[in-house]
Structure 1
Amino acid sequence: MENKKYSVLIIDDHPLITDAYKSAFNYYSKQNESIKFSIKIAQNCDTAFELINEFSTKEKQIDIIFLDIKLPPSKDRKILSGEDLGLLINKLFPNTKIIISTTLNDNYRVHSIFKSIDPDGFLIKNDITPKELIESIHSILNDPPYYSKTVVKLLRKQVANDFILDNIDRKILYELSIGTRMKDLPNLLPLSIAGIEKRKRHLKQIFNIKSPDDRELLFIAREKGFI
């Protein structure tokens, strides 16, 4: 059998998790001697962004990416989470297989990630065992997609077809959550005050919020993993 070497990028801010993923790839390689993995690890958005751009600049392909969603924002606040990285990866590397791995298990949030990133694999971390990791790697290489059991259950639940938050919605929520004043938001977003207020009204409709202030909006958005 012809030897095959895959380029892998693991993006997660927990060292124990990244070590577990790396061990799974190494174990799979030992069980399948014709397959090798070149693995790089990023534990924050800034490092991940640098590595992604490095691959792109050198015109090198990334074959597989394990991507956590709940990452701290980049220092310049242009990348708010793993979801923004996923959108960038899809743009620069449309053939890369993305495996989302996250603690988020809210129905709306999971469906939103599917709509925005369309990953080849989706794992809820509470489902993950060493065996599950090996199975996910095998499926992604041979017959994607691969979804862990909680994801399969969530996919069976119906959600509104128009439920998706884009990067501007998430940026509004993030800036409000850190105390940025409304009058300053037009300096950070390509929207007027009126446009931002319209977005906020839409977000409140999505989350079924009646309160006129933003506290409940931010509470629900944080609860569902959008902040």
Structure 2
Amino acid sequence: MNLNILIVDDHPMTVDSYINLLSNSELNKHNLHFIKGYNCQEAYNKINMYVKQNTPIHFALLDISIPAYKELNINNGVDLAQLIRKKFNMCKVVLLTMHSEALTVDKIIKQINPEGFISKSDINFELFPVICQKVLNGDYFKSPTIIESQRELFKKNINWDDHDSQILILISEGVKTVNLPNYIPLSMSAIEKRKANIKDQLLEGRGGDKDLIDKARKLGLI
């Protein structure tokens, strides 16, 4: 059986390491074909080429933090994963990250529901091909740091949805409240209400944006 595997990471040595590990694992019983990308634009072009050829991508290993393709607003591995979900609905997606902030993890799981979600600090050369084999066999895998990040959110009893998470993340990135409707499909009054709810939960209603971000960082949410 042919197995087309897309690997995207901005470090060529990392991509080659993944290829070597998978080539020398149980997966080598398949006819493995590796598709390499080092940034969002390269990956987009490869995905598009496979779409045009009507050839499936079976498995995608995507680093989250990779150089963006600004012209098409594909900013990271999560945006690539969304594209893959639309174009190849049978493709199994594994996301790899160095970031495990609770709200970021929660947002990605809600957006993508990847078959695999791995903190790079949790894996080694032995474990990596085993995880990939499990995912290809139909299992879902979250590494310990990702699981702990989800537990933290649950323990803090944070009660909000993806839009609320986006509001907090965007404010932490320096986006002014007045500009939030440019990023989130909600009215200014709806955004203000949600922001007030976030402040109630984290600051008991007191403080400004800086206090809110400081508190969220202290809690490990962003």
1:74 corresponds in structure 2 to: 69
Shift of 1:75: 1.6
Is the CA contact 2:110–2:162 (under 8 Å) kept in the aligned structure 1?
A: no
Whichever residue aligns with residue 35 of structure 2, its letter is K
Query: Which residue number in structure 2 is paired with residue 13 of structure 1?
Result: 10
Q: Deviation at 1:130?
A: 0.7
SS of 2:13's partner is: helix
1:139 to 131, 134, 140: 134
Q: Which residue of 2 aligns with 1:103?
A: 98
Query: For the Cα contact (< 8 Å) 2:167–2:195, is it kept in 1?
Result: no
CA contact (8 A) 1:169 1:199 kept: no
Q: Which moved more, 1:44-53 or 1:156-165?
A: 156-165
Give yes or no for contact 2:102–2:221 (8 Å, CA) kept in 1. Answer: no
Q: Could you tell me which amino acid in structure 1 is paired with residue 143 of structure 2?
A: S
SS in 1 for 2:24: helix
2:36 maps to what in 1? 41
Distance 1:27 1:98 in 2: 21
Partner of 1:165: 162
Counterparts of 1:1-227 in structure 2, within 5 Å, are: 4-28=1-25, 33-76=28-71, 78-154=73-149, 159=154, 160=157, 163-166=160-163, 170=166, 173-174=169-170, 186=181, 190-204=185-199, 208-209=202-203, 210=205, 212-218=207-213, 220=216
Aligned length: 218
Which protein is richer in helix relative to its size? 2
Gaps of 5+ in 2: none
**Structure 2 residue identity aligned to 1:8:** I
Distance 1:120 1:39 in 2: 19
Amino acid at match of 1:27: N
Deviation at 1:177, TM superposition (A): 5.7
- The residue matched to 1:130 in structure 2 has which SS? coil
TM-score by length of 2: 0.75
Give the stretch that moved more between structures: 94-103 or 66-75: 66-75
Question: Greater shift after overlay, 180-189 or 99-108?
Answer: 180-189
Q: Provide the rounded CA distance (Å) in 1 between the counterparts of 2:22 and 2:207.
A: 50
Residue 50 of structure 1 aligns to which amino acid in structure 2?
A: N
Shift of 1:105: 2.4
From the superposition, tell whether residues 16 and 103 of structure 1 become closer, same or farther in structure 2 (CA, over 3 Å): same
Change (3 A) 1:41 1:223: farther
Which TM-score applies when normalising by structure 1? Answer: 0.74
Unaligned runs of 5+ in 1: none
How far apart are the structure 2 equivalents of 1:95 and 1:39?
Answer: 17
C-alpha displacement of 1:6: 0.8
